[in-house]
């Protein structure tokens, strides 16, 4: 017998305030047409003052715990994937742990920008596989609106705020049996860190910095890296693209989503898309999309779900899950 991670609850939370493309056009020299044609984004949610990453993360966590039918006291590991922590330290995860009233377990943050949720899921899965953890809470939460340069039209139109969470439960499975998270695959290439970065940091110039991006080059790497990590995940499990019930991709750009789906030969009817309403919420985008598709009944027990993401670092990864 072996330990496997089953996702028993999902949750998400978006700030109430919505900024449409028409609203963006009042802030910078852009148009709804340009944004929709290049990215598929129509609107994004923006956190209000005091609505920090931990506030969004806590709400998403509560929703996931409710669906899972467990309490915070059952959780022995909390991982928050974020690029926009409430403070440089301590971790946002410890803040969420306190907000949930947890008195046990360990909590820490994972930083892999837009790939953060997949990295955090892989980390939690490995804790469960080793037998160290029985229930894990994995959260992706961001207030990217606080680190974009609102005078730079080439980046500020792309991002939004939000949070998503999952509860993992350790279950016993026969060796080779397809239960829960089948495998996770992580990659990074630090040589490409200048394609997407902030021009500040606590250890560099004591500031947070703003997002800077070489969009065209990033686009090329995104489509290639995502296609290769998806192939890797399928091959590792002896599965084919046609076996995938739902692709739940990182929501950076509709054209990147379409490019990956096309390479897999998957129709739009099997791809979960939220980028039009959420924009790019970095580490929150995959669990936000996942929660939407679970709650509206698209993802059902027995489905094969493939999550993938790419972000600054560069980092990229995938997780294949039997629901
Ligand atoms: N409104 C109007 N015009 C704009 C805007 C805007 N918001 N932003 C840039 N432009 C202009 C540029 O100034 C440029 O004008 P010029 O030709 O006069 O110089 C023109 O539009 C074309 O700019 P490009 O940057 O070449 O446009 P491109 O077609 O590459 O689209 C985009 C830009 C959407 C950012 C695209 O490169 C992209 O999606 N890249 C991937 C980046 C991404 O998704 N990053 C998210 C994080 S990484 C990840 O999650 C995978």
What would the pLDDT profile of 138-155 be if each residue is shown by its tens digit?
Answer: 999 999 999 999 999 999
Tell me the CA–centroid distance for residue 24 and ligand 1, in Å: 15
Task: Give the chain's mean pLDDT.
Answer: 97
CA dist list (Å): 183 to 43, 197, 292 = 34, 29, 23
Can you give the pLDDT at residue 175? 83
Q: Quick check: CB of 197 below 6 Å from ligand 1?
A: no
What would the pLDDT profile of 8-64 be if each residue is shown by its tens digit?
Answer: 999 999 999 999 999 999 999 999 999 999 999 999 999 999 999 999 999 999 999
Helix axes 116-129, 285-295, angle to 10 degrees: 70
What would the pLDDT profile of 261-297 be if each residue is shown by its tens digit?
Answer: 988 898 889 999 999 999 999 999 999 999 999 999 9
Can you give the pLDDT at residue 263? 87
Q: Quick check: CB of 153 below 6 Å from ligand 1?
A: yes
* Identified catalytic residue from 135, 210, 250, 278: 250
CA dist 156 and 213 (Å) reads: 11
* pLDDT grade for 176, boundaries at 50, 70 and 90: confident
Cis status of the peptide bond prior to 314, with omega within 30 of 0 = yes
* Across 240-264, average pLDDT: 93
Q: Which atom of ligand 1 is nearest to the CA of 159?
A: 46
Tell me the CA–centroid distance for residue 22 and ligand 1, in Å: 18
Q: Which of 30, 154, 214, 274 to mutate to test the pocket of ligand 1 (most atoms within 8 A of CB)?
A: 154
* pLDDT grade for 126, boundaries at 50, 70 and 90: very high
Q: Quick check: CB of 283 below 6 Å from ligand 1?
A: no
Q: What are the two backbone dihedrals, phi and then psi, of residue 143, each rounded to the nearest 5 degrees?
A: -125, 70
What would the pLDDT profile of 192-233 be if each residue is shown by its tens digit?
Answer: 999 999 999 999 999 999 999 999 999 989 989 999 999 999
What would the pLDDT profile of 100-111 be if each residue is shown by its tens digit?
Answer: 999 989 999 999
Ligand 1 atom 26, closest CA = 216
Instruction: Please give the structure tokens belonging to residue 180.
Output: 């829960």
Q: Which fold has domain 2-173?
A: Peroxisomal Thiolase; Chain A, domain 1 (3.40.47)
How many helices (H) and strands (E) would you count in the chain? 10, 13
CB 90 within 8 A of CB 78: no
DSSP state of 177: -
Q: Which of 29, 142, 226, 253 to mutate to test the pocket of ligand 1 (most atoms within 8 A of CB)?
A: 253
Q: Quick check: CB of 311 below 6 Å from ligand 1?
A: yes
- 198 CB contacts (<8 Å, ≥6 apart)? 147, 208, 209, 210, 211, 212
Share above pLDDT 70 across residues of the chain, in percent, rounded to a whole number: 100
Q: Quick check: CB of 280 below 6 Å from ligand 1?
A: yes
Of the candidates 47, 16, 10, the residue with the CA atom closest to the CA atom of residue 321: 10
Can you give the pLDDT at residue 160? 98
Can you give the pLDDT at residue 273? 97
- Residue 92: pLDDT over 90: yes
Can you give the pLDDT at residue 174? 92
114 labelled catalytic: yes
CATH 3.40.47.10 positions along the chain are: 2-173, 180-322
Q: Quick check: CB of 30 below 6 Å from ligand 1?
A: yes
Instruction: Please give the structure tokens belonging to residue 190.
Output: 């630090």
Q: Quick check: CB of 215 below 6 Å from ligand 1?
A: yes
- Residue range 180-322 forms a domain whose CATH class is alpha beta
Can you give the pLDDT at residue 293? 98
| 19 SS3 class | strand
Report the predicted TM-score, pTM, of the whole model to 2 decimal places.
0.97
């Amino acid at each position: 017998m072996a330990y496997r991670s089953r996702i028993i609850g999902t949750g998400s939370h978006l700030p109430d305030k919505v900024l449409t493309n028409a609203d963006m056009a009042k802030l910078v020299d852009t148009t709804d047409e340009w944004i929709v044609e290049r990215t598929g984004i129509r609107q994004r949610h923006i956190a209000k003052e005091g609505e920090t990453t931990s506030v969004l993360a806590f709400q998403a966590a509560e929703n996931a715990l409710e669906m899972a039918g467990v309490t915070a006291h059952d959780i022995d590991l909390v991982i928050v994937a974020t690029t926009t922590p409430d403070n440089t330290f301590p971790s946002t995860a410890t803040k969420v742990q306190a907000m949930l009233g947890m008195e046990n377990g360990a909590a820490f943050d994972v930083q892999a920008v837009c790939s953060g949720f997949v990295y955090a899921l892989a980390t939690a899965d490995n804790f469960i596989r080793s037998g160290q953890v029985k229930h894990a809470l994995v959260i992706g939460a961001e207030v990217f609106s606080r680190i974009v340069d609102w005078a730079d039209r080439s980046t500020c139109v792309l991002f939004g705020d939000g949070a998503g969470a999952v509860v993992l439960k350790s279950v016993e499975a026969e060796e080779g049996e397809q239960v829960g998270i089948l495998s996770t695959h992580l990659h990074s290439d630090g040589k490409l860190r200048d394609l997407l970065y902030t021009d500040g940091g606590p250890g560099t110039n004591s500031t947070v910095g703003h997002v800077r991006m070489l969009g065209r080059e990033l686009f090329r790497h995104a489509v290639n890296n995502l296609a290769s990590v998806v192939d890797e995940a399928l091959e590792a499990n002896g599965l084919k693209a046609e076996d995938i019930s739902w692709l739940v991709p990182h929501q950076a750009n509709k054209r990147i989503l379409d490019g990956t789906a096309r390479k897999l030969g998957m129709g739009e009817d099997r791809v979960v898309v939220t980028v039009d309403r959420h924009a790019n919420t970095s580490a929150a985008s995959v669990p936000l999309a996942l929660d939407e598709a679970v709650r509206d009944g698209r993802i059902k027990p027995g489905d094969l779900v493939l999550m993938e993401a790419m972000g600054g670092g560069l980092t990229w990864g995938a997780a294949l899950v039997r629901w």
